[in-house]
Structure 1
Amino acid sequence: MIAAEDFCAALDDRGFRFASGVPCSFFGGPIAHLSRSPGRYVPAANEGGALATAAGAALAGRRAYVMLQNSGLGNLINPLTSLVMTYRIPVLSFVSLRGWPDPAQDEPQHEVMGTKTVSLLETLGLPYWMLRADCDEAGLAEILTGVEKAVAAGEAPFVLVEKGSVGKCQTAATDEPERLDSRDAVQLVTELAGDSPIVATTGYTGRELFGVADRPANFYMQGSMGHAAAIALGVAMADPGRSVVVLDGDGAALMHMGTLSAIAEQAPGNLIHVVLDNGIHESTGGQSTTSSSTRLDEVAVASGYRTAARCRTLDEAREQFTAAQRSPGPHLLLIPTRPRTGPMPPRATSTHSPEEMRDRFAAALTATTSRA
């Protein structure tokens, strides 16, 4: 394993001094280290945005790189093929290897991309190297020498990173007592939702919902970060007579913020969008989001939501949620929450397979529609 500081220093020594990316636990150390120096790391909303940002820096004469998870490689393909490869902009990509080499040792959402990452790069004709967990600084230096040759040739090289290859950094703790406990907020939403379907975003939010009240009408979205609200939009529009709740996170909502505009344009009166905003990408190591500068409740109003409220107490959340149930939406409730502490509930896949979650959720929707 290479220390996070040494990993960044090795890149810095070769002129790679601009980075962007999307949080991944494999790169939690380098992201935390770079984030201490303003201008060194740009937290992107999604993988394509990270690559485009790095491409802009490269066009301006900087050596740039991105860090991301291979599950998000699909989001990278369009700007990779139509921008970076077409214009031959030399950007270095570090991609973590989830679901590799044995997909059974990781979560189900990593199986497909885990087994296809290498072949995908080979299909695109992209040069790549493997950074293994037992690689030392000399091994990293050898990889970077090859990377530099690819960059000099105008190519877009990739380094595939095995789990445990790069160390972690201590992240600064935050103490914000005015924020709510996320479990209390999830408990309240579950109570008030009744038998309404709830679509929960990936990461700790879905795990928390699973731990609070597992039921067939819950859809635990694993992977596909940022798309819970879009799923809920589809459910809501398929049956306008049924209330639909989405439990979202600030990082996920920011990743595909255009969905707020799509929801507002379609104006489903039965959609209640709850965003738990703790200001960090918690399940990947606590990297900061941009929710401190982008107030999602105000974005929702500007997009065209009927109402949006910032709920700082459980009483406020109860009042606003109940009001949303009684009036046409879409409505957004933003609940500032504290970073989670203590043990987390297991993932829903510890009990239910993805297919089982799909089938029971679909059956719950059908049953609710029949009763209506």
Structure 2
Amino acid sequence: MIGAEQFAAALLDQDYQFFSGVPCSRLTGVISVLSSHEGRYVPAANEGAALAMAAGARMAGTRAAVLIQNSGLGNMVNPLTSLVLPYEIPVLVVVSLRGWPVGTDEPQHNLMGNATKSMAGLCGMSSMLLEPSLDSLEEALARAQKADVDGKPFCLLVPKGTVAAANPAPSPPNGVLSRVDAVRTVSERARDAAIYSTTGYTSRELFAAADRPGNFYMQGSMGHALALGLGSALRRPDRRVVVLDGDGAVLMHMGTMSTVGHLAPRNLLHVVLDNGTYGSTGSQPTTSPTVDWPALARANGYRDAWLCTDGAELRTVLDKALTQPGPCLVAVRIRASETDVPPRASAELPLPGIRARFEHELAVAHGDS
């Protein structure tokens, strides 16, 4: 296995000076090491933005690399095929292989795990599967160097167990309320609503605390819980829809907030649990400390918005938000550090089963069956 410090040192020795990405738990050690070098690692809202920033750094004369999970490769297709490749901007793309080999990971990773290598090729990127040795890393970086000379990006595929972990950076102070208490409070107050919960620990906490057919646990598609809830809210104006979101997920596809405000569904409540980190990938920091959530929501057309910092305030605000016309946003500052994390919903329920019972519950509530 390659040490995280060794992996990072090899990149720096090859004069890579700018790094960006969206964290993956399998690259958390490398990101932690690079982040310890001030100004080297820039957290991106999404993978496409990470690639564009890296391309901009390369055009400014700095060798640049992007570190992502293969599920985010889809977010990179547009800037890859319409910016980096046609303009011949060489960037190193380090991709962790989730869902590969197929059947060794959570079900939401299987399709991309099987398609990653061929997808990179279809997009015009040369790639190499990294083995857990420094010799393999040396060969990969030599290939990346050749691609760089040719003005081409290069994709380094990193399977599980190839790169070791490292001590994560300490979580920044953010709030006093725990995620589980915040999730339970929302679930108790919104027990008659259809609840969409975002990927990561939020869905795990909701499943453990208050599993019911009216909960939809989104285990992939980071950043799209709000769009998912919006679609249902528009088609079911008779039903309260609550989207239980995270700060990193909202920032990834923040433009959906503008769509919500423009269409203004009166039955939609958007709850953002803000811990200032990507909790399920190693607690790397997000950029949420500089976000004014109520101001952002109102600027996008939400009818009302609040920021809560403790349980009592959250309960009071939810009682108000769930009884007045939306769309409304409730942001909650929660603790960044959590020790006990429940299992995923898919440990007990198949993903199609989660969808089927949710759809059935909505249909019954609508009188369709």
TM-score bucket of the superposed structures, by smaller chain? over 0.9
- Please give the alpha-carbon distance, in whole angstroms, between the structure 1 residues aligned to 2:145 and 2:174: 48
2:313 corresponds to which letter in structure 1? E
Write out aligned runs for 1:151-190 (5 A): 151-174=148-171, 176=173, 178-190=175-187
Contact 1:48 / 1:79 at 8 angstroms: preserved in 2?
Answer: yes
Q: Does 1:38 find its partner at 2:42?
A: no
Question: What are the equivalent positions in structure 2 for 1:8-157 lying under 5 Å apart?
Answer: 8-101=8-101, 103-132=102-131, 134-135=132-133, 137-157=134-154
Q: Which shows bigger deviation, 170-179 or 334-343? A: 170-179
CA distance in 2, matches of 1:121, 1:193: 43
Partners of 1:99 and 1:107 in 2: how far apart? Answer: 7
In the alignment, is residue 262 of structure 1 matched against residue 259 of structure 2?
A: yes
1:50-107 Cα deviation digits (max 9, x unpaired) = 0000000111111101010111111111110000011111011001111111x21111
2:346 corresponds, among 325, 344, 349, to: 349
- Answer yes or no: is the 8 Å Cα contact 1:181–1:337 preserved in 2: yes
* Partner residue, 1:325: 322
Q: Describe the shift of the 1:176–1:58 C-alpha distance in structure 2 as closer, same or farther (beyond 3 A).
A: closer
Gap regions ≥5 residues in structure 2: none
Matching residue within 219, 227, 231 for 1:230: 227
* Amino acid aligned to 2:193: S
The answer to whether the Cα contact below 8 Å between 1:182 and 1:340 also exists between their aligned partners in 2 is no
- Structure 2 CA distance, aligned partners of 1:123 and 1:100? 18
1:178 is displaced (CA, Å) by: 4.6
Q: What amino acid is aligned across from residue 18 of structure 2 in structure 1? A: F
CA distance in 2, matches of 1:223, 1:334: 22
Q: How far 1:297 sits from its partner (Å)?
A: 2.7
The answer for the alignment partner of 1:208 in structure 2 is 205
Query: In structure 2, the residue corresponding to 1:90 is in which secondary structure?
Result: coil
How many residues matched?
368
- CA shift for structure 1 position 234: 0.7
Q: Distance in 2 between matches of 1:18 and 1:178?
A: 31
SS of residue paired to 1:309: strand
2:148 and 2:26 map into 1 onto residues whose CA distance is 24
SS of 2:176's equivalent in the other structure is coil
Same amino acid, percent of matched pairs: 51
**1:131 is aligned with what amino acid?**
L
Instruction: Give yes or no for contact 2:85–2:124 (8 Å, CA) kept in 1.
Output: no
> Does the 8 Å contact 2:308/2:330 carry over to 1?
yes
For 1:216 and 1:369, the matched residues in 2 are separated by 14
The whole-number CA distance in structure 1 between the counterparts of 2:70 and 2:264 is 34
Paired AA for residue 94 in structure 1:
V
* Distance in 1 between residues matched to 2:183 and 2:260, nearest whole Å: 22
TM-score, length of structure 2 as denominator length:
0.97
Per-residue displacement from partner, 1:207-229 (whole Å, max 9, x unpaired)? 00000011100000011000001
Q: Say if 1:316 and 1:231 are closer, same or farther in 2 by CA, change over 3 A.
A: same
CA separation in 1, counterparts of 2:41 and 2:336? 22
Structure 1: 4+ residue segments shifted above 6 A: none
Question: Does the 8 Å contact 2:55/2:90 carry over to 1?
Answer: yes
CA distance in 2: counterparts of 1:346 and 1:298, whole angstroms? 35
Task: Decide whether the 8 Å contact of 2:171 with 2:283 is kept in 1.
Answer: no
For 2:227 and 2:354, the matched residues in 1 are separated by 18
Distance 2:36 2:122 in 1: 37
Give the corresponding residue for 1:272: 269
Contact 1:89 1:154 in 2 (8 A): yes
Q: CA deviation at 1:295?
A: 2.4
Alignment RMSD: 1.4
1:169 to partner: Cα distance: 2.2
What is the deviation of 1:171?
2.3
**What amino acid sits opposite 2:117 in the alignment?**
V
Quote the offset at 1:151 in angstroms: 0.8
Amino acid of the structure 1 residue aligned with 2:127: Y
Match of 1:295 in 2: 292
Amino acid at match of 2:124: G
SS of aligned partner of 1:105: coil
1:218 matched to 2:185 = no
- Tell me if structure 1 keeps the 8 A contact 2:22–2:67: yes
Q: CA deviation at 1:176?
A: 4.1
- 1:69 and 1:239 map into 2 onto residues whose CA distance is 34
| Separation (CA, whole Å) in 1 of partners of 2:80 and 2:275 | 31
Distance 1:195 1:29 in 2: 42
